Amino acid sequence: MVQAGESIREPRSPLVVKLGGSLHHRIPEIVPLLCQSGRPLLVVPGGGLFADAVRQEQVTDDSAHWMAVAAMEQYAWVIASHGIMITDILAVPEITAVFLPYIIMRLHDPLPHSWDVTSDSIAAWIAAELGIELLVLKSVDGIFLNGIIQEQVTMPIKNDVVDPFFIPFVLKHRIKTTIINGKSDMVLEKYLNGEPVLCTKLCTTF
């Protein structure tokens, strides 16, 4: 975790921001904070209720994978309805926009077709492709182990915050990644301003 008095490097640099489906009810508060931060952000949507619907279907892993990616696009349009641009272009952002992943994922098909891979890992792959940092917004303060928040994770650990594929992928590709609590406006605003917040950081190169 960033220590007191230490700020995040380049607080105006671009970020990939994974906006989790569990924060669906917080979108009206989160979107303005993202758009007004002064940082160019590529927002990767979770699947939310739309992905939950896919889980109820008895389909093959391949079908479930692409249905879940399509579910991310439905959630993206929900986010966009609150005043943020949409893009399907995979590029380092110059302005803040929410990403439609289906076409790019179909084109590259870079990840296993399994429920071990969710929108978390898709966001990590996007950050790796663009070579920029990843911010993951969850409904918790970070990753906990035995009830203690992990300020930094440098090896795979079992958890229920991100999917099983996510941490090994992030560490292997050295993606600077931070998990924060998206339920707090103050935490999100401080992070985007380069101020220290309660969080979990992943990677071995901080």
What is the model's pLDDT at position 12? 82
Q: What's the angle, vertex CA 152, arms to CA 147 and CA 158, rounded to 5?
A: 55
Instruction: Tell me if the domain spanning 15-199 has CATH number 2.40.50.700.
Output: no
Spans of all domains in the chain: 15-199
Nearest to 47, CA basis, from 58, 56, 35: 56
Residue with tokens 């005043």: 83
What is the model's pLDDT at position 206? 46
Enter the pTM of the model.
Answer: 0.92
**Average of per-residue pLDDT across 61-69:** 95
d(CA 106, CA 73): 13
Q: Which of 9-18, 55-64, 98-107, 194-203 has the highest mean pLDDT?
A: 98-107
145-161 per-position pLDDT tens digit = 999 999 999 999 999 99
Q: What's the angle, vertex CA 184, arms to CA 163 and CA 188, rounded to 5?
A: 80
